Structure 1
């Protein structure tokens, strides 16, 4: 029973992040409605017909993106405090090498290659099964993902920091307390995928979560944040990175996919070798549990 309880505690950061997201979205929309109502009232334009306009305005993609950014900032504060408490209590088994210049360069290359490979895979799948992407397309549109400042702020900076603190920070640390690295990495990546609440996003978030976890262990949490930022920013600027002539050429795209896929594989294998050089204590919970069970 104690072992089961220990495993369940791994989900606590995920559940808290989910609660903050739901409450933040609720209160964000409420506050927006109140502010707009006060503004219209001051202008003498508030009437029953404007209520629907206010409601529609609250669902504007840029407003929702701004609310998401505000929630992300709250996440950063909350989980930074939690992570600091874990460090103070010595409740961290995940150690890592120092992030040096070579590691930074490899992470930047890895992030761009992951995004290019992922974009090609998603494009191929969407052409074969467009019905799978109906909900995904609506989700991206609703979030207003684009090249605006608020998009860059949230997608490129706030979200990567917040999500890495939640999953490769607090969650990963808790998981490593009770299980080996591979199982802990799988657990945090699975929760990371579920957190996105969309099948398509969830699947590739799970795969990327495994990579982020490996980089976190090999190069520190800062390395995972840098990789996450690089992936997201590359996704926002992919149209500028890849000329349209390449994207419309099947042979060129195939060669590009092989090259980026090979680069991703090589860098992750290298990171795996780096991990072997890190001395890390193994969880001892199973020894304690064996006495408790008896």
Structure 2
């Protein structure tokens, strides 16, 4: 009898975890699709409005999960320590991720990416900043780190939880160039959440990376950084970004280690 009860508990926990993996992403995608097809709104605006509508619901579910873990949502959403390092890390990862995608030539061979890029970067810059730069990262971090990563991490190792959540984050973007870039950001965001225990940390990382990416794409920086005729400039910026990434990771790691020692 005891074994049967334990087995049932295990099955219930597995179902709960699966729901955490599927439902938030499903409702977010469903709302975006409805706004795009039925209203209809432009793709970026539809995604931004969907994110805005889903954030309160996602916050409620995240708060509920945090209470079950014995943690406070308020504590998790408070401004993270090492804020400057997190912002710089997001910016550096933006450069490294985009450079990796360009070196592999993924943007040139992916028609799906070209269609997505047109939808993302054709609206007014102010809308891009508001939607892609601020609102969408909050919703995505609530889904992929606050619910998916955290729920897997409750039962499994950090490495498995980070890889699965980052992999789903990459697949969600629907094309290889953005998928590779999102996977890199997702792994780092999961590590930040693990180290700081604050969801605000990966949110800030995501916002930083997205805003810099928007500025690069909408200005002449794109031609300067990712064209073969400027290979020397690109190499210097990539090396600098790598150094900044390493320094920021070390600073965040040791600062949070010190905080744990004090506590």
Q: Give the TM-score taking structure 2 as reference length.
A: 0.79
What is the aligned residue count? 247
1:109: Cα distance to partner?
A: 1.0
Aligned to 2:192: 215
Structure 2: how far apart are the matches of 1:202 and 1:269? Answer: 26
Give the Cα–Cα distance (whole angstroms) in 2 for the partners of residues 252 and 29 of structure 1. Answer: 40
Residues 93/69 of structure 1: CA separation in 2 closer, same or farther (3 Å cut): closer
Q: Distance in 2 between matches of 1:185 and 1:230?
A: 20
Match of 1:233 in 2: 211
For each residue in 1:98-128, what CA deviation from the matched residue of structure 2 results, as whole angstroms up to 9, or x when unmatched?
723xx1111111111111122222222228x
In the alignment, structure 2 segments of 5+ residues that lack a partner are 1-6
Q: 1:130 aligns with which of 93, 104, 108?
A: 108
Deviation at 1:212, TM superposition (A): 0.5
Take 2:189 and 2:256, find their aligned partners in 1: how far apart are those partners? 13
Task: Provide the residue aligned with 1:258 in structure 2.
Answer: 239
- Superposed, which structure 2 residues align to 1:103-122 within 5 Å? 103-122=82-101
Superposition deviation, residue 5 in structure 1: 6.4
Name the CA shift for 1:196/1:142 in 2 (closer, same or farther; >3 Å). same
* C-alpha distance in structure 2 between counterparts of 1:142 and 1:245, whole Å: 23
The alpha-carbon deviation at position 172 of structure 1 amounts to 2.4
- Report which of the two structures shows the higher radius of gyration computed on alpha carbons: 1
Which residues of structure 1 form unaligned runs of 5+? 33-57, 280-294
What is the rounded CA distance, in whole Å, between the counterparts of 1:228 and 1:23 in structure 2?
23
Instruction: Report how far residue 261 of structure 1 moved.
Output: 1.4
Equivalent residue number for residue 83 of structure 1? 62
The CA deviation at 1:274 is 4.8
| CA gap 1:146/1:84 in 2 versus in 1, 3 angstroms | same
The one of 19, 22, 39 equivalent to 1:12 is 19
CA-to-aligned-CA distance 1:126-184 (integer Å, 9 cap, x gap): 28x832x2221112213445552222111011111001111111222211210122222
Describe the shift of the 1:30–1:115 C-alpha distance in structure 2 as closer, same or farther (beyond 3 A).
Answer: closer
Relative to structure 1, the CA distance from residue 193 to residue 73 in structure 2 (aligned partners, 3 Å threshold; closer, same or farther) is: same
TM-score by length of 1: 0.72
1:141 alignment partner in structure 2: 118
1:258–1:8 CA distance, 2 compared to 1 (3 A) = farther
- Residue pair 2:92, 2:244 contacting (<8 A) in 1 also: yes
